[in-house]
Structures are given as structure tokens and as C-alpha cells.
Structure 1
Amino acid sequence: MAEMNEKGILGKFLVWRVRNIKEKQFIVMLSILVGIVTGLAGVVLKNMVHFTHAFFTERMQVDSGNLLFFVYPFIGILLTTLFVKYFVKEGISHGVTKVLYAISRRNSMIKPHNNYSSMIASTLTIGFGGSVGTEATIVLTGASIGSNLARLFRMNYKVMTLMIGCGAAGAIAGIFKAPIAGIVFTMEVLMLDLTMASLVPLMFTAITSYVVTFFLMGDGFVFSYQITDKFVMANFPYYVVLGIFAGILSVYFVRMNLRVEQFLERIKSTWKRIAIGGALLGVVIFVFPPLYGEGYSALDDLMAGHSDKLLNNTYFFGFRDSAWMLILFVVGLVFVKVIATALTNGSGGVGGVFAPSLFTGGVAGFLLAMLINMSGIRVVEPSHFVLAGMAGTMSGVMKAPLTAMFLIAEISGGYALFLPLMLTSVISYLTSQGMEPYSIYARRLARQGDLLTHNKDKAVLTLMKLNKVVETDFKTIEVGATLGDLVKVVSKSSRNLFPVLNSDHQLLGIVLLDDIRKVMFNQEMYPKTYVRDFMTTPSVVIDMNDSMEVVMKKFEDSGAWNLPVLQDHKYVGFVSKAKIFNTYRKVLIHFSDDE
């Protein structure tokens, strides 16, 4: 009864809204609501992770190795897996990839449990030391909030997609206090086209989320150390070197992450995967404690000139005054961080690669600055290289140079380093692009043909679904049938081609009406001539798993107007070029309408 009343109230509101509020005005109102809820979600997530992390680490001794670094991440992954397996009952890791998939393959619909489930799982993973970040989690949460609010108010696909973008923008704006980076993130990473119709709601969401976070958590930045020094033009060549290094490192990051996760995916037993992955992660974090959790405190120490703190809680603490020991330790951090991240996610943890990519780049930038200073060639400011390295690696890993430069500028509290940030980001992007064209989020989706891009043609093809254009009203004929049997089938069909099947429903060939037109009225041939005599084997077939881009390529290569569709080697139907073009036009109009 209460549910009916609730539906009645919502229904009345929707009717009132249509009559009294214009669509564009309501979208702006909805974007503000998304910003408020997403901002609150970001505050809750940050506090949950912070308090959990602090509870387990505040009493640790800094002057020796601590076995708890081995135990805690394992416990976190175990608890996360239990929560996901028995409460959520579906995978919730790789949050940004899930958002991209929802836009391209699920009509921008994200299941409501994502409003909270990934926040709980991420808290368990990161709070116990999993070497991942909260950013992908809050992006998925924000996108889910946007999607489900749009669904609640019966908005169409375009508005739902826009609200997903708003949720993601609000997530980045709130958790980093970086509204510009949040807006640019939706353009570069989620690959939404920015028009004036979409830019205004994105701005409202980003600003609202930022304001909510400001009032609840103050005006502090992600890093306590703030840049006040200006960029020195004489250091220009070193930032070029850093950009190239960051680009190569980005490719390593993406590929190593995928390989480690694929290694763990091959372990079919969930509990065996947790045991192996969790144990390996524990060993890595025990040797390199700065990999425990997100790693932002380590970056803060590097920028503040406290690099010796990296050796806290390690068996190398006694060597903290040795520059060469510090260099060796930092090199290990640069190349092992991505392994720790992949072990965390691959063994059952929930988190993103946003923070790990920043950590890797920041430490790499510090390493380069340290080597330059030790060489005596020139004295450079390590904190500048830490920030530029963060921007460079993030740019290469996510293929998002604009997001990287604006984000680092905003979280460091100043635009004094904007030129080196821009330079490092662009060079890293160009360096990595030639070796790894897709971002870490889009790599798998691109291979599956599920990636929506700024290319309108490819975007429309991605939005089209093969099962929606397959035609199944063709009359089939058995391979052993006679011409007489075929004529009877022809008389009942409105089509001019007839698939020939065997007893297992497998396609053996096709008979065209033109091929039998001259003999179909010669009744003497009916019992003596068989279908196989007229059958031709199709040169190209379409599989139900083919992407629409592959389907169009097959039409172009074959020059055919109709192609058969198979699933598991069995006949399903036909796809016609005319049907595809008709559907393509409808999707294009729907996709491109800015009103």
C-alpha cells in the first residue's frame, strides 16, 4: 500500500514537472541534486577510509619492520571478497571501466546497489592497506547516483548519460576539491562530448559537490605541502626528460597491471586466489610499507623534503641517511607499486588505479630530481618534479593530459607550475600513445568493441546492438529437400533468399530466388532435383559476438547486401545493409540531438 502511494506521489510529481518546469531547467536542478548527494558520498568515503586506516596504523613503530603490514591487507581482501560474494553478488571493481560499459552497452543504466556497495568494499580494501585508490570508487558511486536519479525521474538515455557524467565530475570535484579537473575528466576519460547543453549541468554538479565538501571538511588540499616557488625556465629540458620517462612508465604501468590481474584470473578458486594474491601483496607491502593504502602521505613527505620517512616501518630504517639506499628503495617503489595495485584488485579487493598512477609518477619525479641534484649538473626543486611526475604518469595511464594538468594544479594549490605540468603531461601522452593507444580503463572495452569514443561514427556503431538488427523471418529448407519442397517454401515466403540447414540447425548454404527462377515452374524436375544443386556457400558470415564495427567491415569487404548470422555455429537469421543503415540513422539522430 505504501509502495503504491509512493508511486502515486512520484507519478503526480512527474506530471506536475512536465507541465510546470522546462526540460533544460529540470536538468540543471537534477545536476545540483547529483552534486549534493555525490559530495556527501565523497565525504563519507574519505572519512571511512581515513578512520579505518588510522585505527590500524597509529600505534605502529617507525624504526622497525612490522609484520602487521603483511597481515592487514590480506584481511582486508578477505573481508571485501566476503562482502562482494555474499551481499553484492556481482563484481564491483574497476569502477571507471564499469561506467564506460554502462554508457555503451547498458543504456547508461547502473544498478542501484552501486550507490553504496563499492564505498563499503573500498573502505575494507584500502582501510586495511590495499594498494589502490578511492577515486574510481567514488566515480562509480557518483555515476550510479546520477544514473539512478535520472531513472527515478524517467529521463531518457541522453539525460541519463549526462547525469552519469555529472556524477563523475562531482566525484572528482569533491574528493580532490578540483572542479575544473572533474569537468575535464568527463570529457577525456568518460569521452562525453561537451556542448553548451551538457557543460552547464556539469559545472553546476562540480561546483555543488565542491561546496558540500568545503563546508563539511574545510578548505584544505589533498597535500598539506603547498607550492609557492615559481617555475624556473632553465629546468625546461629536465621536464622534457621527465615527460618521456613518465610516458614509458605509463605503458609499463598499464601492461604490468593487466598481466598480473590476468595471472590471478587464471586461478579459478576464489579462496586460492585470495590466499596467493593476498600473501604476495602482504610480502610486497611488508618490504615497501609506503605502498600501504593510497600512498598520498608518502607523496606529501617527498614534497615537504622528508624523503627519509619513506624508510619508516622498514628494516632499512637504519640506512635512512644513505642517499644510495634511498635511491634503491625509491626505484623499487616506482616499479613495484603497480604490482601491488594489481595484486589488490586481482585477488578480490576493490579500488582504482587513480591514486596508484599518481603515486608512481610522483615517486618517479622525485627519483629524477634526486639523480639530477646528485649529478651536480644542476640543483632542481624535488617537489616540482614530484607534481610534474604525477601529472605525466596520470596523463599516460589514463590518456587524459588535460585532466592531469588541471588536477595537479588544483590539488597543489597553485598554477605557478602550470607550464611544466602541461609540458610533462603532453610529452608523456604522446610518448605512451604510440605504444599503448588506449587508457587503462578503455583497453579491455576497446578490444571487445564496447568502447564509446568521440568519433561519432564509431560511437553510433558501439551504441547499436546486433541482436536488434538481426532478421529472423526467413523460411529455411533442409539440405536433402527436393526442388518441389523448395517451391512450396517459396510460395509461403516474402523473401528472396532461403538458408539451407542440416539436422543440427547449422547453415550449409543459401539458395537465391534468382537461382531457381528458370526451373521452378518445371514440375518434371521437382522430384529429381535437390536443394543442394542450387545452394551456394556464403563467403562471409557474422557471429553474434561480433561488434557492429566488425559487422560493417564484413559488409564493406564482401559487398553483400545480406549476411547470415550464426551463434555457436548455428543459424540465427540474416542482417541486411538496409536495416543497419536505417537503425544507424535513428541512433545517430538520438545521439546527436542537443536539445
Structure 2
Amino acid sequence: MFRNTFSMKQFRHRLAYGEALPQMVILGILCGLICGLVLGSFRTLLETPLEHLLPNQDSENFEGLPTWLHFLLPIIGSLVLIAILSRVTPLNRKVGITHLLERMAYHQGYLPITNAIIQFFVAALALLFGHSVGKEGPAIHLGAACGSQLGQRLNLPNNTLRILVGCGAAAGISATFNTPLAGVVFAMEVVLLEYTVIGFMPVMVSAATGALVVQFMFGNAWALTVPTMQIESLQEIPYVAFLGGIIGLLAVIFIALMKAAMQWSNHSSFGYKSRLLLAGVLTGSVAVFYPQVMGMGYDTVTSALQGEIGLGLLFGILIAKCLLTPIVLGLGMPAGLIGPTFFIGAIAGGLLGILGSSAVNQTVAHPGFYALLGMGSMMGAVANAPMAALVAILELTGNPNIIFPAMISIVVSNLIARYVFRMPSIFVISMHLQGMDYRYRPLTQMLNSSSAQSLMNRNFINSDPTISTQGASKILESSPSWLLIIEESKYILLSPGDLHTAVQQALSPEEQIDLLRIPALRLDTSMIDSKATLQQALEQMARDGVEALCIVTDRNEILGLLTRDQIEAFYREN
């Protein structure tokens, strides 16, 4: 009975249309389950060894190690990474959010499984050996790869594949920080670059499902411990805006340093092995003086939020982390930068909170409150994701009183980075340095969100190049939209109206009509896969110099026809 009520072929066909919301929600739940399991495994791989090896069974306590290990551990980690990556092709070494955006921009969201597997292990090793990087970027890549692989395994249309990548990215953020809504907003703001119902609903359920899976595995605990805080007086608002400006400047420095390191890496004669070793030496050297820069640093961020770190140490950690992390990442360390931006923002905000309280005589908010504002402002400015940063701060605190001051600081920091210094997001800069582009084009986004199948015309009849007048009359009785003429493996479309004129002019029913010679509208065609989007169809028409396409299955069976006029009518109506 199940076979009679469910058909995978019908399921795929339904997904080609924009209104396939129930099907997309089902896929979103399935994607969230897979992502939750994968990211739960990733977290286990990180935390279990560190809890056994670091002092006090604290997976963040790199500070408790002896000084000689602070220096040697990152270098050993670099050597291990070199040994692994030397066995991998350059294409498979591409990982992280930039790789994800590249696959979205140029490959319709087809993320290779090999790159995801490499990301899983190299990111874990980088963090296990104390490199100054984060796990959030790898988590987003892993989640997106899970969504992409789900779509690929089920042979789903490309417009669906793109949404599943967004579902996975949202689940990655959600499972890492236990912030489902921030995951949704990040996926829509950075990965999909659009807000639509058909995209929002599956992404939302995927983020929620991913968070539930990780909560089931590890409990309902946030990655950071945030005390309940609020602004004490509206007179602090100018200082909140000042904080946003300072954080914006730090974001510009971070982006500029990472850009310079990437440019040096691209033009340097040093190979990736030397660069990774240099990253290890730099991290070890800085960690000798400030071991807080090692690993994810959530314990240091939590201390900053609690106001437990003194002014001098905050300043030293800030300089060390802000200089070290972008250089290490620019040298090619295969891990993330979202966590480090949280770290830098929290330290800078805590520092400004202490300075602010000592500069005025009146009561001001707790330094941890400013650390929290710094986290959101730094992340929003570096990643160009202000809404995701605001939502993340709100979810981490559960305190609506944070919204107003956070909006001010995040807006100011983004204005400083985007409009004063003209700095795009670090992900866009990374793509530009690789000769790629990832701009928002509304028309392209709209065409990519719809499948070629959703517009194809099934009302056509196959015909030989030459037919009798009587045969042509029978064809015209069925009122086809097109005649598909097959000649030496070439496919040409003919307008039925022109055939009708030729039939009327024929002298007898037996007269032969050459469909390739009669005066008529004829369109040359080429083939395109049934999974293609309308954007892919338009690009192929331009590439092949044709005005129509035959939509074919994997077995080269023709499902329908698509003309340029149909696509143009579609985007005029929408």
C-alpha cells in the first residue's frame, strides 16, 4: 500500500515547483537529524580527548599546561596537519565557509563529501592542538555538506539542493551554539542571500531539529555562560555607540590582516606546508605569553562576560588574539573564524566596559554587558551578518533588554566597516582573492530558486523531418504547442501554426512536407538535465547559442521543452 501512496519520482517532481512546502519541511527535518548526529560526533571528537588530557578535566584549560607545551603543541599540530593534507589533492583541501559559498555560487550547492570528511578531521586536529581558531566555520561546512549530500543521494532538483545547503548551514550554527534562530538568520543572510517562505520554513525546522539532537546528546546547555545583565541608564547609549565604533575598527584590522596574509600566501614561494608550520610557530610563540589564545577560548570569553579578567590581561589578550588569529587563518589553517570574532569582541567589549565604569562617576552596566555587545558587533562586522549577530546575542542571553543597545553597537560597527572603510565580509574578500564573485543579484536568486521542470512544456509531439500532409493533419488534431523534429541526433522545435499553413497549401493528402524547409519558426535546442534550475537553463542557452532546451532525465528521456520566452515571461511576472 505504501508504494501506491508514495513515489520518489512524484516527490522529486513536486520539489521542482515553488509551492512544495510540505516536501521541503520533511527534507528539512531529515537534514537536521543528520546534521545533529554529525556535529554531535564532531563535538565528541573535540571534547573527549581534551577532557582527559587537559588539567582538571576541562576541555578549555590550555592555560593549565606547562609553558613548553604552550609552545610545542601548536607546532606538533601543524606537523600532523601537514602529514594529512600532503596526501590530499589541492581541490580536496578546500574547506570552510568560503568553500561553501564557492560551491553555492558556481556549482549549485554540490558540496563534495571528500572535502567535508577532510574538514571534519583537520578542524578537530587544529583545535585539539590548541591553534587559535574556531569550530563554527567547520560546523557550518559540515552541516551544509550534510544537506547537499542528502539532496544528491536522493537525486533532487538543484533548486532544492540549494535550500538543503541552507538547512545544513543553519543546523550547523544551531547545533554549535544552541541558537536555532541565529542559525536560521545566518543561513538566510550569508548562505542563501534571500528571505522566502519556501526557504525559511525548511531551514527553520532543520535548525530546530539539529539543536534538539545535540541537546539530546549533551544536554540543554549553551556554549557560553552569560549572566543576566542590562543597561543601567539611557545616558550610556553614546558609550554603546562608541563601543560599536571601536569594535568596527577592530573588525577592519582583523579583515585587513587576514586579507594581507592571504595575499602573501597566494604570491609567496612558500608552499602550504611551510605556511602551516609558520602558523604553528606563531601560535606557540604567542601562547607562551598568553595561553588564553589557544583553542576556542570559550572559558576566557565566559570569564570576560562575568567580569573576572583584569584590565591589563584583557588588553594583552586582545592584542595577541587580534593579531594572531587573522594571520594564522590567512596562512591556511583549516578551521573557522566566527568563534575567534566572538572572542575578540568579548575581550574588547569587556575592556571598554571597565574603562567606561572608571571614566564616569555614575553607575554603569556590568563590564560583561559590554563584552556581550562586543561579541555581536565584532561577529556582525567581520561576517557582514548583523541580523544573525543580533539574534545570536538575544538567544544567548534570553534577555530582551539587550536588543536596543545591541542594535546600536552592531549597526555602528557595521557602518564603520562597510561604509567608512569599504570592507566587505571576510568571506567575500576570500572569494575575490581566488578570482571568484558572490554578489546578490535578485534576478539570479529568483531563477536559481526555481527548477527548469517547473516551467517546461510537456505538450509536444516528436516528428520526423519529413511527413505526409495526412500525417501532419493528425498531429495538428491534438493541438501540440511544439513539434520536436529529430534529425541526426539534433532536436529542432517547429511552430504548429506554420505547419498548419503548409497543410492548407498542400495539393494532396499524400504530399510530403519537409519540416526543415517550409517557411516556419524553428528553434535550435540543446539538452539540459531535469535537475537544472532556470538560471542554469538560461546560462546554457547563452553558451550553446540556442533559444530552447530539451529537459532530459538521467536516461536521456525527454520530459519537456523550455524556451527563452518562457523564462523571460516568468521573471517579468514575478
Q: Decide: shared fold, TM above 0.5.
A: yes
Alignment of 1:290-369 (within 5 A): 290-308=292-310, 326-327=311-312, 329-369=313-353
Contact 2:92–2:115 under 8 Å retained in 1: no
Does 1:433 find its partner at 2:418?
Answer: yes
Question: Distance between the aligned counterparts of 2:229 and 2:107, measured in 1?
Answer: 46
1:166 aligns with 2:151: no
CA distance in 2, matches of 1:216, 1:591: 46
Partners in 1 of 2:150 and 2:344 — Cα distance? 36
In structure 2, the partner of 1:476 is none
Check if 1:26 corresponds to 2:23: yes
1:286 to 271, 285, 288: 288
Question: Is 1:260 matched with 2:261?
Answer: yes
Residue 14 (str. 1) matches residue 11 (str. 2): no
SS in 1 for 2:121: helix
Q: CA deviation at 1:337?
A: 1.5
Q: How does 1:62-73 map to 2 (within 5 A)?
A: 66-73=67-74
Matched residues in 2 for 1:174 and 1:180: separation?
11
Distance 1:460 1:23 in 2: 16
| TM-score normalised by length of structure 1 | 0.69
* Superimposed CA distance per residue, residues 405-443 of structure 1 (whole angstroms, 9 cap, x where no aligned partner): 111221233332111111111111111111134101111
1:509-550 Cα shifts (integer Å, max 9, x gaps): xxxxxxxxxxxxxxxxxxxxxxxxxxxxxxxxxxxxxxxxxx
Aligned residues: 455
Structure-to-structure mapping, 1:495-510, within 5 angstroms? none
Q: Which amino acid aligns with 2:171?
A: G
Whole-angstrom distance in 1 between the partners of 2:192 and 2:328 = 27
Which of 419, 422, 427 does residue 407 from structure 2 map onto?
Answer: 422
- Secondary structure, counterpart of 1:221 in structure 2: coil
Residue in structure 1 matched with residue 487 of structure 2 by the alignment? none
* 1:438-492 Cα distance to aligned partner (Å, 9 max, x none): 10111132466733433325768999xxxxxxxxxxxxxxxxxxxxxxxxxxxxx
**Residue 62 of structure 2 contacts residue 291 of structure 2 at CA under 8 Å; is this kept in 1?**
no
In the alignment, residue 372 of structure 1 is paired with which amino acid? G
- Over the residues paired in the alignment, what is the CA RMSD in angstroms? 3.4
Residue 52 of structure 1: how far off its partner (Å):
3.2
Cα distance change, pair 19–454 in 1 and its aligned pair in 2 (3 A): closer
Is the counterpart of residue 443 in structure 1 residue 417 in structure 2? no
- Give distance in 1, aligned partners of 2:289 and 2:382: 25
Contact persistence 1:391–1:405 (CA under 8 A): yes
* Map of 1:203 onto structure 2: 204
Q: Name the CA distance, whole Å, in 2 between partners of 1:217 and 1:576.
A: 53
Task: Look up the match of 2:396.
Answer: 411
- 8 Å CA contact 2:259–2:429 kept in 1: the answer is no
Name the structure 2 match of 1:277.
279
CA distance in 2, matches of 1:163, 1:415: 31
Deviations 1:361-397 (A, max 9, x none): 1111011111122224444310100000011111110
C-alpha displacement of 1:24: 3.6
- Residue 375 of structure 1 is matched in structure 2 by 359
Code of the aligned partner of 2:428: A
State the alpha-carbon separation in 2 of the partners of residues 576 and 447 from structure 1: 30
> For residue 152 of structure 1, what is the aligned residue in structure 2?
153
Write the distance in 2 (CA, Å) between the matches of 1:283 and 1:120: 25
Deviation at 1:117, TM superposition (A): 2.4
- CA distance in 2 between counterparts of 1:58 and 1:448 reads 42
Partner of 2:96: 95
In the superposition, relative to structure 1, how do residues 257 and 336 fare at CA in structure 2: closer, same or farther (>3 Å)?
Answer: farther
* 2:182 aligned residue: 181
Letter matched to residue 410 of structure 1: E
Match of 2:378 among 375, 393, 402: 393
State the distance in 2 between where 1:591 and 1:268 align: 49
Q: Give me the whole-angstrom Cα distance separating, in 2, the residues matched to 1:94 and 1:224.
A: 30
Instruction: Among all aligned residue pairs of Structure 1 and Structure 2, give the percentage whose two residues are the same amino acid.
Output: 24
Q: Is the 8 A contact 2:62 2:294 kept in 1?
A: no
Once the two structures are superposed, the pairs formed by residues 230-269 of structure 1 within 5 Å of their partners are 232-265=233-266, 266-269=268-271
**In 1, Cα distance between the equivalents of 2:116 and 2:284?**
30
Give runs of aligned pairs for residues 38-57 of structure 1, distance below 5 A.
38-57=35-54
Greater displacement, 16-25 / 156-165: 16-25
Aligned partners of 1:392, 1:37: CA distance in 2, in Å?
31
CA shift in 2, pair 1:19/1:148, >3 Å:
closer
Q: Which amino acid aligns with 2:73?
A: Y
CA distance in structure 1 between the partners assigned to 2:233 and 2:328 by the alignment: 39
| Change over 3 Å in CA distance of 1:162–1:131 after alignment to 2 | same
> Is 1:135–1:352's contact at 8 Å kept on the other side of the alignment?
yes
In structure 2, relative to structure 1, the CA distance for the partners of 1:592 and 1:274 (3 Å cut) is farther
Rounded to whole Å, the distance in 1 between the matches of 2:132 and 2:71 is: 12
Shift of 1:399: 1.0
Distance 2:205 2:399 in 1: 23
- How many angstroms apart in 2 are the aligned matches of 1:593 and 1:165? 26
State the alpha-carbon separation in 2 of the partners of residues 254 and 588 from structure 1.
40
Q: Distance in 2 between matches of 1:31 and 1:456?
A: 24
**C-alpha deviation, 1:168, in angstroms:** 0.3
- Aligned residue identity for 1:375: A
Shift of 1:297: 0.7
Tell me the alpha carbon deviations over residues 197-252 of structure 1, each in whole angstroms, 9 at most, x when there is no partner: 11111111011111112211111112223324455323111101001111111111
TM-score after normalising by structure 2:
0.72
Q: In the superposition, relative to structure 1, how do residues 112 and 274 fare at CA in structure 2: closer, same or farther (>3 Å)?
A: closer
Q: Is the 8 A contact 2:240 2:405 kept in 1?
A: yes
Contact kept? 1:231, 1:417, Cα under 8 Å: no
Q: Indicate if the aligned counterparts of 1:125 and 1:351 stay in contact, CA closer than 8 A.
A: yes
- On the 8 A contact 2:132/2:340 being kept in 1, the answer is yes
Q: CA deviation at 1:584?
A: 8.6
Give the match for residue 384 of structure 1: 369
Q: For 1:50 and 1:30, how far apart are their aligned partners in 2?
A: 30
